[in-house]
């Protein structure tokens, strides 16, 4: 993990149009050294978007394919070999990606998309000393985290740290909700330890259009006009809660990262483009109801069987019917 003063690059960006978005990303990454600072020739590069669900396309529940396309293109130009991966709560990564319009970019860039497989890894924390994480993320040469700015009915906000929970194999997510979910602080710490163990090389946060209200999937799109990037995911999330005018203590993942000493006050973060105060949002809509994190065993079992049904029965049957 980085020990020097972290940098968070923030810029205004309003368009997903290819040329405009590419220009925005180049501006965003320039003070961080550009893509070449993170990707070397021959590197296997995992792109980890938010592929939450295929159920609400157009509602900005997932990372836009336009952003994934632009980042993948920049990785290729730097000599890297990008591949796409996630572990959606329901269904397969490919099924969710296709439902959200990823087919053209997968074909154009010949971009592989994979489902994750679990393996236990030692973490720094004694509380979570052997986390079951996807080996594809842990064994990649470079991990680029591509989250979406969203409100969340359980965790208030889902940003860079929470997006890395997608590197936990699907059915294990429900287990963690049961094991750590009785205490929001413990659950937040588990998410932080997951992010700390994966240690992404770069996080690029899609806030051009966010998802506010009863997220992560039940809210509505909200134009924010912001892109953010940092090699330090904890600093990026800390900056983003400031922009959304949400108390850091209110967000379990941010509160845990502060308690663990992984991020400090805003004046200890370098902002080469924009200060968070200059792009602050005063009317971001948080959930109007909050759901307890604790799933309980019956819900865990139901969630697990639903995940297995969609992934191994429903989606294969749909694919077969299209032949």
Look at residue 115 in the predicted model and tell me its pLDDT.
Answer: 81
Q: What angle do CA 93, 139, 108 make, to 5 degrees?
A: 45
Cα–Cα distance, 153 to 290 (Å, whole number): 5
Look at residue 123 in the predicted model and tell me its pLDDT.
Answer: 67
- Please report the DSSP string for 226-274 in residue order: EEEEES-HHHHHHHHHHHTT--GGGSHHHHHHHHTTS---GGGSB-SS-
Calculate mean pLDDT across residues 211-216: 96
pLDDT band, residue 177 (cuts 50/70/90): low
248 or 316: which leads in pLDDT: 248
Cα–Cα distance, 91 to 308 (Å, whole number): 8
Q: Are the C-beta atoms of residues 26 and 34 closer than 8 Å to each other? A: yes
For 59, the enclosing helix (H) or strand (E) is none
Domains annotated for the chain, with CATH where assigned, are 9-299 (3.40.50.11440)
Residue 1 in this model has a pLDDT that exceeds 50 = no
Calculate mean pLDDT across residues 185-208: 94
Q: Are the C-beta atoms of residues 62 and 49 closer than 8 Å to each other? A: yes
Least confident of 51-55, 77-81, 218-222: 51-55
The model's pLDDT over 95-129, given as tens digits with 9 standing for 90+, comes to 999 999 999 999 999 999 998 887 777 666 667 76
Look at residue 319 in the predicted model and tell me its pLDDT.
Answer: 57
Q: Are the C-beta atoms of residues 85 and 137 closer than 8 Å to each other? A: yes
Distances 215 to 42, 92, 204, 285 between C-alpha atoms, Å = 38, 20, 20, 10
Q: Which residues pair with 203 in a beta bridge?
A: 145, 230
Look at residue 122 in the predicted model and tell me its pLDDT.
Answer: 65
- Please report the DSSP string for 142-175 in residue order: EEEEE-EEEEETTTEEE-HHHHGGGGS-HHHHHH
Distances 190 to 15, 116, 239, 300 between C-alpha atoms, Å = 35, 19, 21, 18
Look at residue 251 in the predicted model and tell me its pLDDT.
Answer: 97
pLDDT band, residue 323 (cuts 50/70/90): low
Q: Select from 149, 167, 295 the least CA-distant residue to 215.
A: 149
Structure tokens at 166: 């997608």
Long-range contacts formed by 101-105: CB under 8 A, 24+ apart: 101/57, 101/65, 102/65, 102/68, 104/65, 105/65, 105/66, 105/68, 105/69, 105/72
The pTM of this model reads 0.88
């Amino acid at each position: 993990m980085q020990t020097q003063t972290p940098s968070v690059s923030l810029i205004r960006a309003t368009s997903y149009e290819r040329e405009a978005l590419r220009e925005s990303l180049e501006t965003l990454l320039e003070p961080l050294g550009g893509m070449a600072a993170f990707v070397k020739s021959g590197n296997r590069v995992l792109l980890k978007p938010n592929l939450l669900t295929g159920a609400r396309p157009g509602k900005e529940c997932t990372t836009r394919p336009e952003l994934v396309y632009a980042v993948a293109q920049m990785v290729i130009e730097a000599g890297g070999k990008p591949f796409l991966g996630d572990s959606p709560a329901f269904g397969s990564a490919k099924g969710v990606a296709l439902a959200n319009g990823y087919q053209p970019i997968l074909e154009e860039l010949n971009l592989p998309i994979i489902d994750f497989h679990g393996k236990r890894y030692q973490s720094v924390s004694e509380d979570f000393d052997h986390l079951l994480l996807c080996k594809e993320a842990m064994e990649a040469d470079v991990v680029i985290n591509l989250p979406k700015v969203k409100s969340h009915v359980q965790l208030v906000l889902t940003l860079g740290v929470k997006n890395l929970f997608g590197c936990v194999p699907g059915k294990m997510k429900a287990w963690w909700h049961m094991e750590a979910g009785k205490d929001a602080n413990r659950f937040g710490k588990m998410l932080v330890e997951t992010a700390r163990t994966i240690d992404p090389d770069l996080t690029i946060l899609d806030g051009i259009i966010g998802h506010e209200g009863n997220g992560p999937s039940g809210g509505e799109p909200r134009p924010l006009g912001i892109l953010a990037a940092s090699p330090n995911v904890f600093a990026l999330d800390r900056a983003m809660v400031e922009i959304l005018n949400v108390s850091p203590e209110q967000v379990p993942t941010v509160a845990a990262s502060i308690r663990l000493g992984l991020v400090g006050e805003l004046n200890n973060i370098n902002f080469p483009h924009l200060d968070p105060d200059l792009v602050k949002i005063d009317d971001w809509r948080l959930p109007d109801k909050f759901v307890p994190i604790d799933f309980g065993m019956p819900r865990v079992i139901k969630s697990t069987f639903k995940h297995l049904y969609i992934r191994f029965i429903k989606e294969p049957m749909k694919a077969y019917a299209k032949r």
